[in-house]
A = this chain, B = another copy of it.
Amino acid sequence: MRNTHQEPSPDDGLDVSGLPGGARSALEAVLMVLDQPASATDLAAGLNLTVDAVELLLLELQREYDGYTVKAPDMEIAREAGFTSSPRGFELRNVAGGWRIYSRAEFADIVGAFVLEGQTARLTQAALETLAVIAYRQPVSRARVSAIRGVNVDSVVRTLTQRGLIEDSGTDPESGAVLYRTTSYFLERMGIGSVAELPQISPHLPGLEGIEEFYDAGRM
């Protein structure tokens, strides 16, 4: 993934607007080779376009794939010409801070039969609960997760790490305990841009604003 963000320069030689389909198709071509979500900034740098322009194109493509015909001032005429506004078999999504092409969920059963690899088994109840605690309390030590769940979570944490859903995020300066956080793969799997988009836990925790202090008061 590129880290250098450069403004488009006229000397660069790369000018996507002269190509068939212009910048829009060029962007589409790049989306085709991604194997992980790419940010608008990265895409802009690669296409020699401004971030704003790329973001506009991305939204345009997203709408188009969803079945809304872009730049069709008159849908009546369009329909007469035989254009239907049905969604494509794929969609463009903004997840985990980047854009990526996905097959549309409606076709999961059919697509799933072709894609054996990468299909992941469902998480166990224990794994889900541990993942939830880590997601909402990160960075957090295993001991803290154990205290919240009331059971030892060592092996579940190991499995979640193997599956790439959580990772080591350093050690607690005081206790020296390893702290865990969720990964960007977790965000991808959840289809969200950041952990801030996780559903609010407060409605599920009526009147428990003080729980943190209770915990941190040193009762393990």
Q: With the chains together, A27 CA to B4 CA distance in Å? A: 37
Does A201 count as interface, using CB distance less than 8 angstroms?
no
Q: With the chains together, A43 CA to B159 CA distance in Å? A: 20
Known: A35-B155, A89-B25, A118-B3. A163 touches B178 (CB 8 A): no
Interface size class of A (residues with CB under 8 A): 35 or more
B115:A33 contact, CB within 8 angstroms = yes
Q: How distant is A62 from chain B, measured CB to nearest CB, in Å?
A: 14
Q: How distant is A134 from chain B, measured CB to nearest CB, in Å?
A: 15
How many copies of this protein are present in the complex? Answer: 2
B32:A90 contact, CB within 8 angstroms = yes
Q: How distant is A165 from chain B, measured CB to nearest CB, in Å?
A: 8
Q: How distant is A153 from chain B, measured CB to nearest CB, in Å?
A: 8
Q: With the chains together, A78 CA to B27 CA distance in Å? A: 24
A16:B110 contact, CB within 8 angstroms = yes
Which of B31, B38, B101, B123 is close to A220, meaning CB atoms less than 8 Å apart?
A: B123
Does A190 count as interface, using CB distance less than 8 angstroms?
no
Known: A2-B118, A83-B78, A152-B162. A88 touches B28 (CB 8 A): yes
Q: How distant is A80 from chain B, measured CB to nearest CB, in Å?
A: 6
B73:A82 contact, CB within 8 angstroms = yes
Closest residue of B by beta carbon distance from A21: B86
Closest residue of B by beta carbon distance from A35: B158
Q: With the chains together, A114 CA to B31 CA distance in Å? A: 10
Which of B77, B88, B89 is close to A77, meaning CB atoms less than 8 Å apart?
A: B77
A89:B32 contact, CB within 8 angstroms = yes
Query: A132-143 toward B: CB 8 Å interface, digit per residue (1/0)?
Result: 000000000000
- Taking CB atoms and an 8 Å cut-off, the chain A residues in 136-182 that contact chain B are 146-147, 150-152, 154-155, 158-159, 161-165, 167, 171, 176-178
A-side residues, CB < 8 A to B, are: 1-4, 14, 16, 19-22, 24-36, 38, 42-43, 45-47, 67, 69-75, 77-78, 80-84, 86-90, 101-104, 106-107, 109-111, 113-118, 121-124, 127, 146-147, 150-152, 154-155, 158-159, 161-165, 167, 171, 176-178, 183, 185, 218-220
